[in-house]
Structure 1
């Protein structure tokens, strides 16, 4: 279909198309000599034909089409082998199962739950907790900011932590 469409537009000379199709048996024979596997050889020939068709404008008329196609086929074979050498065999999927990452949305949901629980704290408890636990102020400095004794800050932070622990089940 693609050959016929290109042919009607006169983008591809008939000789190129006919030569390409005529060389399929030789390409397959060469691919079999490299792969020793019929299915892999067929895939390699198909890849070669696709690349040759895609880059048909690079082919220089008057040069050897066979050599050009064999070079494409050989490079495809070598690139495939390189790719396979970096792959880890995992027929039963056990290795892939060990590489999985826990879903990130679970962390996001827990964070939203924490934010909501903090929002439900009494304002005085929330303020003390944020100053001490989030901003890292010592109790005395937080007491100075709030304007109350440090014992009151300790009590508010403790109550806020207890409530969060109850609500979040931590």
Structure 2
């Protein structure tokens, strides 16, 4: 009998005791069967590292035990998401759309008169209040409000924004990223 045939026969003979050991570890017959199958696949793949004349059953039990603990460590890092709620929150809109929108916005911002650009950046990007921005620019609060209003209107015109629905991702991107995962 060849060594490959002998190895195969040894694997088959060990299956019942491997399964019993796997059930005792996993406490679930389905998981135990998967564990035994994974053990046999790994053993078959690594049969060249098995030394003839040593205890095959002990070698297989070691593989099974190591696989069990590897799966346990992996499961600790995994989060159960059977209804897909967590995964749905992880979806993101394509970055290329945001990048091109930002490029368009920067070009439009550069087209604004300097006083409007300064006012919109102080209020919109830097987070200053109208009073603080007025103090920084050395003008009245009403002047800053007027400049910001005109800057917003001009940016909307340049960018072709007609309403709230024009902000953010397009309808197709929203539909794709908000739809539940297809199994």
- TM-score, structure 1 length as denominator? 0.62
TM-fit CA distance, 1:114: 4.2
Query: Are residues 58 and 98 of structure 1, via their aligned partners in 2, closer, same or farther at CA, if it must alter by over 3 Å?
Result: same
Map of 1:61 onto structure 2 = 52
CA drift at 1:88: 1.4
Question: Which of structure 1's runs of 4+ aligned residues deviate more than 3 A?
Answer: 111-119, 158-165
Which position in structure 2 is the counterpart of 1:22?
13
Distance 1:51 1:101 in 2: 37
Distance in 1, matches of 2:152 and 2:83, equals: 46
What's the RMSD between the two structures over aligned residues?
A: 3.0
Following the alignment from structure 2 to structure 1, what is the Cα–Cα distance between the partners of residues 14 and 103?
A: 64
2:81 corresponding residue in structure 1: 90
The 2-side partners of 1:94 and 1:108 are apart by 28
Can you give the 5+ residue segments of structure 2 that lack an aligned partner in the other structure? 119-147, 162-166, 168-183
Between the aligned partners of 1:25 and 1:16, the Cα distance in structure 2 is 16
- Is the alpha carbon distance of 1:93 and 1:160 closer, same or farther for their aligned partners in structure 2, counting shifts above 3 Å? closer
Tell me if 1:75 matches 2:66: yes
CA shift for structure 1 position 111: 3.7
Aligned pairs, number = 130
Structure with max Cα Rg:
1
Q: What is the distance in 2 between the residues matched to 1:88 and 1:161?
A: 44
Question: How far 1:162 moved relative to its partner?
Answer: 6.0
Distance 1:82 1:160 in 2: 56
TM-score normalised per structure 2: 0.58
> Distance in 2 between the 1:117 and 1:36 partners?
64
Any unmatched runs of 5+ in structure 1? 1-9, 134-157
Asked which structure has the greater RCO (Cα within 8 Å, sep 6+), the reply is 2
Distance 1:77 1:161 in 2: 61
Partner Cα distance (2:40, 2:4) in 1: 16
